[in-house]
Amino acid sequence: MKKKDKPKKKEDMPEFSFKQFTPEEGRTYEEAVNRYREAIGAGSKLKEAYDSYPIADGELRSIIQADFLKILIAERHFAKREPLESLAADLGVSLDLVKDTFGRMLQEVGITAANELGKQFGELKTETND
């Protein structure tokens, strides 16, 4: 006898929380991003750029590095229309990493926009009377 497949639940929108940096973390963020930019500008691959500015705090390092990849995608893919495949090759990372980061960016933008809309106009009702 075949097991019945459970109905798939509609996936909830993931929740994001954006870290509020201390002044010291903010300085580290700015310095790291500037150093990463210099390294990429000099022809380094992404991992080499990350290695050019070591950050002891693992959580902060992860946030900064993820943000930097998002910055590159925004500048090179959205602003300059560079294909994601080309960006991945230039940075020496997998296309999957770039696409996953790209998808996360779109989710974050959508959720942020929905939250702002909710703040400005209140909750939107999705009921219909037809």
Residue 85 lies in a domain: yes
Percent of the chain scoring above 70 in pLDDT? 81
pLDDT, residue 121, reads 80
Residue 114 lies in a domain: yes
pLDDT, residue 116, reads 81
How many domains does one find in the chain?
Answer: 1
pLDDT, residue 75, reads 96
Residue 10 lies in a domain: no
Chain centre distance of CA 46:
15
Q: Cβ distance 39 to 48 under 8 Å?
A: yes
pLDDT by 10s per residue, the chain, length 130: 444 444 444 455 555 567 899 999 999 999 999 999 999 999 999 999 999 999 999 999 999 999 999 999 999 999 999 999 999 999 999 999 999 999 999 998 888 788 788 788 876 555 555 5
Q: How does DSSP classify residue 22?
A: P
What's the domain range around 107? 23-121
Alpha-carbon dihedral sign for residues 21, 23, 25, 26 = positive
Using one digit for the tens of pLDDT, what is the confidence trace for 25-55?
999 999 999 999 999 999 999 999 999 999 9
Residue 70 lies in a domain: yes
Residue 9 lies in a domain: no
Q: Residue 95 — φ and ψ, nearest 5°?
A: -65, -35
Residue 89 lies in a domain: yes
Residue 126 lies in a domain: no
CA distance 35 to 56: 16
Residue 69 lies in a domain: yes
